Every structure is written in C-alpha cells, then in structure tokens.
Chains A and B, each alone.
Chain A
Amino acid sequence: MKTLATVLFFVVAGHSVLAQNIYGSLTYGAMGYQCDYTDLQTSYSSYLESMEPVLANNNLYFTDVDDNFSNLGLTGALTFQVGMGQNGYSLVFTAMSTKTAQTRDVRWSNGFGRSFVWKETRRETLFDFGFYGTKRFDFYGTFGVNWNWTRMVSYYIYPDESRTLTHEFANNGVYKHYTVGLSFGAGVRYRFKNFVALEARYLFSKIGFGIINKEEDFGLSDAAIVKHPDYTYFPQDYTEPISVTSGNELVPYFNRQSVTLSAIFYINRDRISKKRDK
C-alpha cells in the first residue's frame, strides 16, 4: 500500500509540476546475475558425503549425481518504473521482480534418489536519482530494499521416476525463508528515439542490514505437522547432527550482483510542446 501511495505521488507530482520528462513503463527485461550460493553448495556436497557410507552399507552406489548449484544465471525481470525529470535531474521509482529455480538430482544404483529444487522470488523496490548527461543519455545511482522469498523443495525419487514429498522420508519437505536487505547500484538510460529508452542497470543486492543478519536469523524451515520436529530446518551440513536445536540450518543470505537490460518509455513534454508550436 505504501508503495502504491509512493508511486501515485510521483505520477501526480509529475503532472502537477509539468515535469520535462515523465517516465513510466511496465516491461520484461533480461537479467544476468552472479549469486553467492556457497552455503547452498556446501549443503549439497555434505548430502552426497553423508549418503556415501549409507549406500555402501547397503551395497549401493551413486549412479548419477548432478553438478553443484550454479552461482551464475540468466533470468527475466519484470520491471515497473514511474518518475519524472526536470532541469537536468531525474527521480524514478523502480519495482523489479525476478524468479529463478535450479534443480539438482542424485540417483543411486537401486533406482531411488533425491531431488533438490531451489526457488527464489526476489523483489527490488528502488529509487533512481540521476541527471541528463548528454542529449541522449541519463546516468543515475540507485538504492532501495530487496525482498526475497526462498524455498527448497526436497523430493524423494522412486524407481518409476515419481517424485514425492511423502512424510515417510524425513528429508522430504518444503523449506522456506523470507529475507530482506539493501540494494544499491547504478545505471544508464539511452534515449535512442522519442518515447523509448534502453536501460542497463547494475545492482548489488545485499541480504540483511543492521540487526537483521545471518547470525541472528533462522534458516529454511518446514513447519508442517507431518514432519518430525527435528527435521524442521533444512540442514546446512548433513554430516553434522540434525535437530531443531542444533543450529545446523541453512540460512539463505545469498548476496547477488546483477545486470538488467530493459526498455523504458518516457514522455518529453518540452519536445512535444515544441512540435505543437511549429
């Protein structure tokens, strides 16, 4: 609601002060990112390590193991922007949403296995403060808040390829956690033709700030009644004791750097009025 009010304020303000440029767009851009998934990768490796003796005791072995989770990726970015420019300066509110998912499967020789599906929905609400560098370029610095919904879905795989979350297997579950943090970066807009500009934005999204930090926060958890309480949290290290009080839980504070390319629409009121005058 606050966001809506802020955006509407900018629209009304933009109209009322007759800003030179009014920006506004709802576009789908492309984002390349690098995310620090070290803890997630450690968890996956520890699962493999913990399973080796278990399989060996049952005369089983790994037949297929996916590579670890990747730090790099490409995804789409839904971006909404609204703002204004006046006297060489611009102020734009930006809301950006991205969704990513990675799946890693492990299979062993009797046909069974486990599948880890990592999902993220990240939202950024940003303020871009900029100036018109040249006739065609806007430069800006950006800062704001990131809101992240993360979840790990851990399935058991049967020989017939069924993936199930049945509670018969303690490691099955839908583990979730919500994090917030601060984001900052910079960008450039290239106003290559009237009404349309291309935008490139670099953003560093740091999870946590102040008292909200990894050491104090809880980890990914699944509070379903069907789960044994000791398996409420998704383990950071499968080779270490797992219990609700052990502190052995994956806390998804995964900082991300990203570059987003998108289009933005704007209205140059000066140019329009000049055309009218002609």
Chain B
Amino acid sequence: MKRLFVLPFLALVLSGCFKEFNGINDENELFAKLSRGNGTWEVTKVEKWNALDADPVITTTTPDSSFFYFYLRSKIVFGSVIDLKYGEYYDNNNLIEEATVSAQKERIVFEGNTVGSGTVYTVEKNGLTSLIWLHMESDQATRYYLEKCNCEIPSNPSNETGG
C-alpha cells in the first residue's frame, strides 16, 4: 500500500525536476507564461526619457486602460490548421499593435511582415506576475511596467445585421 503512495510522489518530484527540459531554447519559451489565464497584462506605469543623457529626466504616466494580450490564433494554411502565437497592445481600449510574437526570457518581438522589421521589447524583469519591458526607438527609451490582470478584451463589432 505504501508503494502506491511512493510512486506517484516520485513521479511528481521527477516531473518537476525535468519540467525545464521542455523548450529551454524554444523561440517562444515565455509565451506560455504570457498567455496564461486570459493572456492579459495591464500596463500600470510608463516611463519615457532620452537614453543619450547619462542622467535623464524621466516622464512617468499611469495609463487608464492599457494592456497587452497574448493568445493563440488558428489559421488555415494550405488546408492545414496551424496555431500562431499572437500579441496585441491596447491603449484606452484601442488596438495599437497586433502581430505574431516571439517571446523569450530576454526579448519580446512583435514581428513585422518583412525581414528586419518589427518591434523589440527588452525584458528587464521577468517576475511571476509582473514584468518590466524596455522599448528603444532611436534614442527614446520607453519602459513598461506590466502586471498580470484579467483585463476585458474589447469585442469586435459584429458584421451580422440580424436582418
């Protein structure tokens, strides 16, 4: 009887030990975490400054309704259904950015349509329920403070008229 308890316990311990064997070098190792729950991360604070200044003046804002949303989107390609990893950025409930994403521990990429294009966020903090991302555009730095949330995703207007 004792063995019946020992074996599942060991299985649990082992599955924990080897969990990281899966996807350590995956291009999207962070996506599972980002898309957990309903996949939304609220932007709680935004800092902006000029990165050329050694001692920059930082402008801080607290957005009202701004969040990132990560999810799997299924598409039919040559007759097969494939799942694409998607990311969206909403500011004031308006969709600002939408793209396939590559999410790694150090870098989140909202991919562009051509080679060399896209938006890169450098991951500065990778906490369990909080993240800090840095985006650099020319010399202008923007730091996003994100918290895991259950934000409501704006619904798409329906094409159905009901008539």
Q: Hey, which chain B residues are within 8 Å of A88, CB to CB?
A: none
Q: Hey, which chain A residues are within 8 Å of B106, CB to CB?
A: 153, 165, 174
**Contact in complex: B17, A165 (CB < 8 Å):** no
**Contact in complex: A224, B136 (CB < 8 Å):** no
User: Which residues 133-148 of B have a CB within 8 angstroms of A?
Assistant: 134-136, 138-139, 141
Contact with B along A34-63 (1 / 0, CB 8 A): 000000000000000000000000000000
**Contact in complex: A158, B141 (CB < 8 Å):** yes
**Contact in complex: B136, A164 (CB < 8 Å):** yes
Does residue A211 face the partner (Cβ distance < 8 Å to B)? no
**Contact in complex: B17, A80 (CB < 8 Å):** yes
Does residue A114 face the partner (Cβ distance < 8 Å to B)? no
- Number of B residues near A (Cβ < 8 Å) is 43
**Contact in complex: A8, B10 (CB < 8 Å):** yes
A157 to chain B, nearest CB (A): 10
Q: Which of A136-144, A187-195, A197-205, A226-234 contacts B (4 or more CB under 8 A)?
A: A226-234
Does residue B128 face the partner (Cβ distance < 8 Å to A)? no
CA distance A34 to B149 in the complex (A): 45
Give chain A's interface secondary structure class.
Answer: mixed
**Contact in complex: A160, B11 (CB < 8 Å):** no
Given contacts A162-B136, A164-B134, A168-B136, contact A176 B25 (CB under 8 A): yes
Does residue B56 face the partner (Cβ distance < 8 Å to A)? yes
A84 to chain B, nearest CB (A): 14
Contact with A along B70-90 (1 / 0, CB 8 A): 000000000000000000000
Can you name the residue of chain A whose Cβ is closest to the Cβ of B24?
A149
**Contact in complex: A82, B10 (CB < 8 Å):** yes
**Contact in complex: A4, B141 (CB < 8 Å):** no
**6 further A-B pairs in the complex, CB-CB below 8 A; given A160-B56, A174-B104, A228-B116:** A4-B15, A97-B20, A162-B51, A164-B136, A226-B120, A229-B115
Contacts from B to A (Cβ < 8 Å): 3, 6-7, 10-11, 13-15, 17-18, 20-21, 24-25, 27, 49-56, 102, 104, 106-107, 109, 111-112, 115-118, 120, 122, 124, 134-136, 138-139, 141
Question: Can you give 16 A-B contacts (C-beta < 8 A)?
Answer: A4-B18, A8-B7, A8-B11, A15-B3, A26-B13, A123-B21, A149-B25, A158-B136, A160-B55, A164-B120, A167-B116, A226-B111, A226-B112, A226-B118, A227-B116, A229-B115
